[in-house]
């Protein structure tokens, strides 16, 4: 039983109304892997960095149970770098710099020892790369969760649709669900997207929570109302990592357990946004995670006995 996490490991430089960072550690796979590490310790990473990436961070990942044998370190090359600035509402941002660097020519290689993975998290990447990972697995994982973004809908829709057809759970935000389906109503959008292949769809609405759909059911989890959202970067990836990490831990992919996974994922996202970058995800205690999940329970629970 293992969880394979594929996605970017990167440097980010972030500006929010609360402050500004130099180059800090980022990347979808970094956030997802760290978030998942609070639930399962058998995590394998496939990604790529340059020789400028700090060994200290790789060591940290290893300490948290993330195997980095599948992390390619390209000598003489630079790590993927993204820089962005958030608007005052923290819901929208401008990309200032995207230096693909090592990502421009990334060919994922899944090590032999990873190939029996039962859970696969495909972080946001070019759909062709996501597909290349699926193609390298001799046995289909029990559950494949895929994240993507509007950028690929704009420039690689054919590849995107082929990849979406291969996965179990697709995670996108509300604007992306509308773009992908051509429907404004998220209920209608979800039904159209489920017709593309995935059995489950998670629509992430940021501060407005997340919806989980399958053909018959819908579940809603709120985001935790926070005093301050310090830096939203990585929230979606932390959500996905917490979600699949919890499913891998419990080995239960029923709709009811996915609902729990959504709550644990939302809890990890709520930690993520409290500090810049991955800082808050590095050394949470089990008590902190449990307390946070209890806050979600308290936030939405009510008892109505209908006759």
Binding site for a second copy (CB under 8 A): 88-89, 184-188, 205, 208-209, 211, 217-222, 225-229, 256, 259-260, 262-263, 290, 293-294, 297-300, 302-304, 306-307
The CA distances from residue 136 to 43, 53, 139, in Å, are 17, 26, 9
Rama region for 32: left / alpha / beta (φ>0; ψ in -120 to 50; rest): alpha
Query: What minimum distance in Å lies between the beta carbon of 162 and a second copy?
Result: 28
Query: What minimum distance in Å lies between the beta carbon of 67 and a second copy?
Result: 27
Query: What minimum distance in Å lies between the beta carbon of 46 and a second copy?
Result: 31
Rama region for 90: left / alpha / beta (φ>0; ψ in -120 to 50; rest): left
Q: What is the 3-state secondary structure (H, E, C) of 215-263?
A: CCCEEEECCCCCCCCCCCCCHHHHHHHHHHHHHHHHCCCCHHHHHHHHH
Q: Which is nearer to a second copy, 96 or 218 (CB)?
A: 218
Query: What minimum distance in Å lies between the beta carbon of 260 and a second copy?
Result: 5
Q: How far apart are CA 106 and CA 37, in angstroms?
A: 25
Query: What minimum distance in Å lies between the beta carbon of 289 and a second copy?
Result: 9
Q: Which is nearer to a second copy, 76 or 225 (CB)?
A: 225
Q: Which is nearer to a second copy, 139 or 306 (CB)?
A: 306
Q: Which is nearer to a second copy, 109 or 218 (CB)?
A: 218
SS3 145: strand
Q: Which is nearer to a second copy, 205 or 280 (CB)?
A: 205
Query: What minimum distance in Å lies between the beta carbon of 70 and a second copy?
Result: 32
Q: Which is nearer to a second copy, 109 or 175 (CB)?
A: 175
Task: Write the CB contacts of 193 (distance below 8 Å, at least 6 apart in sequence).
Answer: 164, 170, 177, 180, 181, 201
Q: Which is nearer to a second copy, 197 or 222 (CB)?
A: 222
SS3 168: coil
Q: Which two tokens stand for residue 248?
A: 């891998």
Query: What minimum distance in Å lies between the beta carbon of 187 and a second copy?
Result: 5
Q: How far apart are CA 294 and CA 95, in angstroms?
A: 35
């Amino acid at each position: 039983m293992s969880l394979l996490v594929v996605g970017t490991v990167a440097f980010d430089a972030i500006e929010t109304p609360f402050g500004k960072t130099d180059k800090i550690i980022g990347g979808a796979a970094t956030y997802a892997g760290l978030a998942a590490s609070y639930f399962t310790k058998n995590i394998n990473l496939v990604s790529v960095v340059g020789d400028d990436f700090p060994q200290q961070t790789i060591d940290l990942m290893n300490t948290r149970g993330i195997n980095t044998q599948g992390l390619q370190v390209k000598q003489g090359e630079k790590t993927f770098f993204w820089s962005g600035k958030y608007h005052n509402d923290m819901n929208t941002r401008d990309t200032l710099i995207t230096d693909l660097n090592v990502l421009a020519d990334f060919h994922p290689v899944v090590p032999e020892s990873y190939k029996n993975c039962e859970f696969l998290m495909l972080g946001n990447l070019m759909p062709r790369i996501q597909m290349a990972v699926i193609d390298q697995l001799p046995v289909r994982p029990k559950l494949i969760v895929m994240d993507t973004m509007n950028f690929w809908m704009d420039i690689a829709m054919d590849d995107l649709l082929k990849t979406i057809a291969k996965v179990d759970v697709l995670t996108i935000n509300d604007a992306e669900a509308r773009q992908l389906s051509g429907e404004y109503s998220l209920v209608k959008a979800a039904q159209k997207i489920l017709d593309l292949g995935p059995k489950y769809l998670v629509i992430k609405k940021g501060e407005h929570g997340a919806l989980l759909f399958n053909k018959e059911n819908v579940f809603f989890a709120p985001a935790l109302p926070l005093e301050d959202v310090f830096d939203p970067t990585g929230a979606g990836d932390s959500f996905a990592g917490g979600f699949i990490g919890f499913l891998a831990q419990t080995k239960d992919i029923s709709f009811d357990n996915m609902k729990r996974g959504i709550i644990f994922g939302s809890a990890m996202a709520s930690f993520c946004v409290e500090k810049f970058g991955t800082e808050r995800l590095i050394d949470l205690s089990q008590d902190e995670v449990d307390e946070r999940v209890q806050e979600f329970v308290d936030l939405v629970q009510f008892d109505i006995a209908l006759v």
